[in-house]
Amino acid sequence: MNLQNIFSEIEKVDGEIFDRLAHVSRRGLFSSLTKKTIAVAAPAIMASAMNKAYGQALPANVVDVLNFALALEYLEFEFYDLGNNLTMIPTRYKDAFEIIRRHEQVHVRLLRNVLGASAIPKPKFDFSAKGTFNDTFSNFQTFAAVAQTFEDTGVRAYKGQAANLQNAKPILQVALQIHAVEAAHAANVRYMRGQKGWVNGGTAALSGLPSILDGNYAGEENVTQGGVNLATALAGDNRITTAMITEAFDETLTKAQVLALVAPFFA
């Protein structure tokens, strides 16, 4: 498959998206749906909502963002699906990895439902990352390290796309909700690996990972937010450390950065 083609950067915004989605949203997109309907058919409802907004075709830039997300969810789901069938996962962590696996599974299903015929097919994966990790599914430490990397990077990937979905507000909210799930997963996997739940700087070593994964954490050392250098602004507060300032914000990655980072996992 041609990743560059599928994930080609189409950053232009279709000006009509805003009008179409805002229109549907204002009229009460979901107001006529009963709770019961929502409970049993949420993915189908999402797809239906998108169809109401766009007819049969999603705008190209939304399709690109969602297919980018779908590629990452395919990667995560297959990783956990393969790992969870093995005995290497300690019993006390099995429930955690099972619910993570299920979330990635329903994320795939949700995105595929929304994308319909535009959804990319599942790629083939290489969980050795071209030989970097030779015991991903036989050594729990490696499995958990890769899981942490996927989740922390997933947070950054979704976050980086938020501004690209601003004119597709129902989709933006769903993306934010998935983004928070990736963060919940990330914190739990970090914690089981003896790491803090939050990312405390811009190297892999600070997150208990080998330096070959530095790119996944590059930029997390940032202490300036919204134009305010917080290290300077809070220098007088002895409760605050520089590490805390880096922890307090998860940084974004662009689509191109994420694709470069995960490319070794695509066969």
Partner 1 sequence: MTAYSILSRDQNLIFYSMKNVTNRPGTTISEAEASRRSFLRVAGAAALTGGLLTACSNADESSVVPTGSARAAGDMVKLPTGDVGILAFAYVLEQLEAAFYEMVLAKPYPNMSTSDRMLWTDIRGHEIIHRELFKAALGGAVPVLTFDFSTIDFNNRADVLIHAEAFEKTGVGAYNGAGKYISDPGYLTLAGKIVSVEARHHSIIRELQYPFSDAFAGPTIVTSDTGLHLAYEPTFVLPIAQKYIKETLDASALVASLA
How many Å apart are CA 72 and CA 30, to the nearest integer? 28
How many other C-beta atoms can be found within 10 angstroms of the C-beta atom of residue 203?
16
**Which residue, 134 or 141, has its beta carbon nearer to partner 1?**
141
- Token pair recorded at residue 93: 């962590």
Min dist. Cβ of residue 154 to partner 1 (A): 10
* DSSP E strands, the chain: 224-225, 228-229
Helix and strand tally (H, E) in the chain?
A: 11, 2
Min dist. Cβ of residue 128 to partner 1 (A): 27
Min dist. Cβ of residue 267 to partner 1 (A): 25
How many Å apart are CA 139 and CA 130, to the nearest integer? 17
**Which residue, 82 or 106, has its beta carbon nearer to partner 1?**
106
**SS3 call for 8:** coil
Min dist. Cβ of residue 253 to partner 1 (A): 12
**Which residue, 82 or 184, has its beta carbon nearer to partner 1?**
184
| Alpha-helix runs per DSSP H in the chain | 3-6, 15-26, 35-54, 60-84, 91-115, 140-161, 169-192, 214-217, 230-233, 242-247, 255-262
How many Å apart are CA 169 and CA 17, to the nearest integer? 9
Computed from CA positions of residues 160, 164, 166, 170, in that sequence, does the dihedral angle turn out positive or negative? negative
Q: Which CA distances in Å does 207 have to 4, 54, 151, 214?
A: 30, 42, 12, 10
**Which residue, 133 or 154, has its beta carbon nearer to partner 1?**
154
Min dist. Cβ of residue 121 to partner 1 (A): 20
How many Å apart are CA 236 and CA 234, to the nearest integer? 5
**Which residue, 29 or 120, has its beta carbon nearer to partner 1?**
29
Min dist. Cβ of residue 2 to partner 1 (A): 28
**Which residue, 90 or 263, has its beta carbon nearer to partner 1?**
90
Computed from CA positions of residues 87, 88, 90, 96, in that sequence, does the dihedral angle turn out positive or negative? negative
Min dist. Cβ of residue 129 to partner 1 (A): 24
**Which residue, 248 or 263, has its beta carbon nearer to partner 1?**
248
